[in-house]
Amino acid sequence: MKLTKLHDIWAAGKPAVNGWCSIPSTVTAEMMSLNDFDSLTIDLQHGLVDYQTALTMLQAMNASGITPLARVPWNEPGIIMKLLDAGALGIICPMVNTPEEAQQFVSTMRYAPNGSRSSGPTRAAMIHGANYHFEADDALVSLAMVETVEALENVEKIAATEGLSGIYIGPSDLAVSMGYAPGLDRKEDDVDAAIGRILAACKASGIKAAIHCLSPEYLKSAHARGFDLATLGSDIRLFDMSIKSQISLARS
């Protein structure tokens, strides 16, 4: 199996830095892949990316060796399978609120007899090798997003789902579900406690814990806290911050 930088980082016991691609462009995807990320996620939920563009972005990222992931719009088998067949080595699935939904997600990710994924890895077999069918169940990364109060109350059961690689915390939606305004890098005591509960559930079940961050400082604190993967903003946010910083300096 190729493009396993993320897997290698985890095997070495180190935390990973994930990049986030929301811009529907092969150019920006390639630019992101030329930087020191361990994995890159193409966002088909809140990003501006459709399936066909995601396919070309996966192709643009291929030469980097970085592990390609995708966030799907929903826990829907069709799009999950298409992105896996296109070569994504992991899926982040939003709004997984119950253990039953987590089980459905895991089943979609795995071939029979372990799951319900249809066999036909068109591009995946081309780039990951002839043994892809037999290696995929163990190699693919399945990250269920816990981002609501309902999911928080079920988090121990979700984390115990057989075959689930880990949980990805969506701090903004989680905070909104708890009555706060949206935003990343949460500092409210109860939201932070909820994040701690999710992290503890992952550790207790022996799965990976991941979280979306905005600043490098918060990302470092997440790693220090024990998270196995932390995402640094997104291409749109990084682009926007860079422009604002440069124009501010130019105008000063």
Tokens 């928080």, residue located = 152
- CB neighbour list of residue 10: distance below 8 Å, 6 or more residues apart: 16, 208, 228
Q: Are 124 and 139 in contact (CB under 8 A)?
A: no
Q: Which residues are catalytic?
A: 46
The span from the CA of 110 to the CA of 240, in Å, is: 38
If one counts every other C-beta atom within 10 angstroms of the C-beta of residue 217, the result is 10
The span from the CA of 24 to the CA of 33, in Å, is: 14
Pairing of strands 166-169, 141-146: parallel
Amino acid at the residue 54:
A
DSSP 134-197: HHHHHH-EEEEEE-SHHHHHTHHHHHT-TT--EEEE-HHHHHHHTTPPP-SS---HHHHHHHHH
The span from the CA of 133 to the CA of 116, in Å, is: 13
